[in-house]
Amino acid sequence: MTPLPLPFTAPWLLAPMEGVTEPCFRDLVLERNPAAALGGAYTEFVRVVDLPLPRRVLREHLGPRRFETPVGIQLMGADIGALAETARRAVEVGSPLVDLNFGCPAKGALRGCAGSALLKEPAKLEAIVRACVAVVTTVPVTAKIRAGFDDAVLLEDLAHAAAAGGASLLTVHCRTRAEGYQELVDWSRIARAVAAVAIPVCGNGGVDTHADLERMRRETGCDYVMVGRAALGDPWIFQGARVSSAEAALFLVDYARALMESGNAREKGAAARVKQLLRHWTAGALFDHDRARWLGEPEPRALLAHLARAAGVESAWDSVVETTERAAGG
Ligand SMILES: Cc1cc2nc3c(=O)[nH]c(=O)nc-3n(C[C@H](O)[C@H](O)[C@H](O)COP(=O)(O)O)c2cc1C
């Protein structure tokens, strides 16, 4: 079984993040980063329970737009048959790769014996990868693990399992499930995975700056590096560009606009999602002095208007609010 070539256009990848890397946010990141800087991205995880998902759901996760940078669908589940058939359908609807999630620490995933629950069962992990690879013959199947469940003792076994199942890439989030999202990270675990398998490894966990991307590759020998939360605070991290405060504010305004125009959120929901990014935000020195004040703004319209002012698009924003609220019957 020869792993298929990966479609990535550069070594830096945007991590799958539930509730964040849906098409509205993801497309803005893809728009602002050339394919030479951002090599690939993923949908948030798509949960498969005991039935294959309809193609419509998979299409919604991919979104309407396509970029030179590939965006793969990530699936999470434990029912091998349902997962494999969903993986096949993901390719049918145009996913250029299929990623399998073996890291989600959420209680819902654990109850369903999916996500990080599979870190205790390398043999089952291998069987899932193998079943998906057997039906997905034209694009690569990739696997994303954490370093382990309670500790990193099984890391090599898990890496071997993914490779033996036929994964074309192994992404290692270097924290264990028990470590959650703690700040302290141990990149030597990524180096252990690199040493254990012959397939390419993507390192993940604790990248804070553009310089960290190259540093992780150098220190661990991994081929690709995946960025999660730092990309929420600086969508330009992949190219290391410093943007003005107006450009930074415009990203947030465009995000709110995309959420409202797609019908995914009204003004209140859009402002809440913008605040989620603001908690991480570092780009454009936008909030050096008054992040707390912006985060504490209770009025969604006032927060979004502040941002539109900072972006220099205040009058255009007023008409966005009017049109979307009218369309939503508000
Ligand atoms: C809000 C949020 C949602 C996430 N959702 C997913 C997901 O859907 N699939 C997945 O494999 N990992 C998910 N993760 C984990 C990230 O992909 C990544 O592995 C983790 O954040 C570590 O990278 P970082 O230290 O660069 O943030 C999520 C993380 C966050 C913060």
* CA nearest ligand 1 atom 28, residue: 17
Every domain of the chain with CATH number 3.20.20.70 lies at 12-233
Q: Give the CA angle between residues 241, 242, 244 to the nearest 5°.
A: 130
CA 213, 219, 223, 227 torsion-angle sign: negative
- Going by pLDDT thresholds of 50, 70 and 90, the confidence category of residue 39 is very high
What is the chain's mean pLDDT, rounded? 94
Dist. CA 104 → ligand 1 center (Å): 8
Q: 3-state SS string over 217-242?
A: HHHHCCCEEEECHHHHHCCCCCCCCC
Contact 173, 103 (CB under 8 A): yes
Query: CB under 6 Å to ligand 1: residues?
Result: 15-20, 44-45, 74, 101, 103-104, 144, 173, 204-207, 227-230
pLDDT in tens, 286-330: 776 677 778 888 999 999 998 999 899 987 787 777 777 777 765
- pLDDT at position 109 is 81
- pLDDT at position 324 is 75
Distance CA 241, CA 208 (A): 14
Q: Which of 173, 184, 215 most suits a substitution to test ligand 1, by most atoms within 8 Å of the C-beta?
A: 173
Q: Which atom of ligand 1 is nearest to the CA of 229?
A: 27
Contact 172, 203 (CB under 8 A): yes
- pLDDT at position 317 is 80
User: Active site residue: 24, 104, 132, 222, which one?
Assistant: 104
pLDDT in tens, 210-237: 999 999 999 999 999 999 999 999 999 9
Q: Which of 12, 13, 18, 179 most suits a substitution to test ligand 1, by most atoms within 8 Å of the C-beta?
A: 18
Note the Cα 94 to chain centre separation in Å.
18
Residue 76 has pLDDT above 80, yes or no: yes
Confidence (pTM):
0.96
Q: Summarize the confidence of residues 129-153 as an average pLDDT.
A: 97
pLDDT in tens, 154-206: 999 999 999 999 999 999 999 999 999 999 999 999 999 999 999 999 999 99
Q: Which atom of ligand 1 is nearest to the CA of 144?
A: 11
Residue 104 among the catalytic residues: yes
Q: Summarize the confidence of residues 90-114 as an average pLDDT.
A: 91
Give the architecture (CATH level 2) of 12-233.
Alpha-Beta Barrel (3.20)
Q: Summarize the confidence of residues 147-156 as an average pLDDT.
A: 97
Residues of the chain above pLDDT 90, percent: 82
